[in-house]
Amino acid sequence: MLTDKAIEKAKTTVRYSIGDVLHEHNDCVRIAYEWLDAQTKLKSANRKFRPLKHIIENWGGRYVSQTDVDLAAHLHPDIFGSYPYYNISSKLTRPSARRLSSIGEAGTQRYEEQPGSKTYASSEV
């Protein structure tokens, strides 16, 4: 689990993809980090556009800013690229809900996946 100290330190070194930096809560970065961690990593950045922040919000049940996703990618040792073109497969994996169990802010807002959504190609066990 990412510590507040690690997140705060990374906020001073990350290159954000947009100028307006917004972080509501460090748990938003943790939600994005867990989502990215569940994805299949590639050797090069993916060039397929996906609204990653919205996909992550719906999975995590809470608002996540684009800069939260930038920061989570910066902190993840296996992720590179820039939003939304990270080195993750375009065949997305729905992360296990267990990943959210220790994140207090997860599921606290009215974000949810649409029934029958075809966003994910597979689900994490």
Residue 36 is predicted with a pLDDT of 99
pLDDT above 90 for 83 = yes
Residue 125 is predicted with a pLDDT of 84
Confirm whether 36 is domain-assigned: yes
Residue 115 is predicted with a pLDDT of 81
**57-79, pLDDT tens digit by residue?**
999 999 999 999 999 999 999 99
**5-52, pLDDT tens digit by residue?**
999 999 999 989 888 889 999 999 999 999 999 999 999 999 999 999
Residue 75 is predicted with a pLDDT of 98
Q: Give the whole-angstrom CA distance, residue 10 versus residue 32.
A: 14
Confirm whether 9 is domain-assigned: no
Taken in order 107, 112, 118, 119, is the CA torsion positive or negative? negative
Residue 39 is predicted with a pLDDT of 98
Of all residues in the chain, the percent with pLDDT exceeding 70 is 100
Confirm whether 33 is domain-assigned: yes
**Residues contacting residue 25 through CB under 8 Å, at least 6 positions apart:** 105
Residue 19 is predicted with a pLDDT of 84
Confirm whether 5 is domain-assigned: no
Structural domain containing residue 110: 18-123
Q: Give the whole-angstrom CA distance, residue 85 versus residue 55.
A: 14
Whose CA is closest to 89, among 27, 124, 38, 46?
46
Confirm whether 11 is domain-assigned: no
Q: Give the whole-angstrom CA distance, residue 42 versus residue 40.
A: 7
Confirm whether 6 is domain-assigned: no
Measured from the Cβ of residue 52, the count of other Cβ atoms closer than 10 Å reads: 22
Q: Give the whole-angstrom CA distance, residue 107 versus residue 50.
A: 22
